[in-house]
Amino acid sequence: MHIQTHDLAIGYQDHTILDNISITPPAHEISVILGANGCGKSTLLKTFSRLLKPKSGIVTLDRQNIHSLPPKKLAQSLSLLPQSPLVPEGMRVYDLVAQGRYPYLKMMGTLSEKDHQMIQDALAMMHIEDLKDRYIHELSGGQRQRVWIALALAQDPEVLLLDEPTTYLDISYQIELLDALMTLNKQKKTTIIMILHDINLAARYSSYVYAIAHDSIYEGVPSELITPALMQEVYHLNCQVVEDPISHTPLIIPLGKYHQDLE
């Protein structure tokens, strides 16, 4: 399933953040959006998901304007995990993840055997089966984040949008999560578009990268796009870029004020 933007302008009230954006994230691949805080990454993802209406231009899903799609159809095709979603009071983990199946419920509104299996699979992929009867508000930030991702997985979308999914996770869980997303992509051909702050993990786990800087979007495969010049343009960061000895993808080595003097 292809998601595309056509001459898109996005922002809030009288403020335009990004203008004239026409991009086509590769279908069935993992794309990562990079950029400094406040550059418009989350705004772009919200526009992809119909949470935010563009100032001009359109977003299409398989050539259909997403604003013309019935809500249920859109929910079956696309799922968004936003930053810091609100934690519902008095809800158990299983019940929250089960909400991912609501777009598929029939007239009677009861979960089928397939629905329950999808919920169990999502819990297992996030390694939180043992938390299914716990209340959300009792969990740590990292545990809650994995529950929210399980909810998105249970929805079984063709396009999965994730806004900083590794937030609150320690490094071992970050790798576990990104491995799970890569497995999902390979097994189900799910198109995944996510925002990451860790450039090295973005290079390792994505097949395509978008970098936002100064109202412009640079795009390409990590091996060609991630360079010292781009890092200076996007983050005002002095760095070296070497080859990751494990994944053979670009590896950023930042040069702080004191380390630059040691070169």
189-209 mean pLDDT: 96
- Other CB atoms within a 10 A radius of the CB of residue 253 amount to 11
Q: What distance separates the 2 farthest-apart alpha carbons in the chain?
A: 69
Asked if 122 contacts 146 with a C-beta cutoff of 8 angstroms, the reply is no
List the domain range (segments joined by +) for residue 174: 3-260
Q: What is the pLDDT of residue 259?
A: 66
**Tens digit of each residue's pLDDT (9 = 90 or more) over 69-115:** 999 899 989 999 988 777 778 899 999 999 999 998 876 678 999 99
Lowest-pLDDT choice from 8-17, 54-63, 246-255: 8-17
- pLDDT at site 209: 98
In tens, the pLDDT along 155-173 reads 999 999 999 999 888 898 8
Closest CA to 147 of 75, 188, 94: 94
Which pLDDT does position 263 carry in this prediction?
52
**CATH number where 160 lies:** 3.40.50.300
The pair of structure tokens assigned to 158 is 């063709």
Greater pLDDT, 11 or 33: 33
Number of domains in the chain: 1
Q: Once rounded to an integer, what is the mean pLDDT over residues 183-191?
A: 92
In this prediction the pTM is 0.90
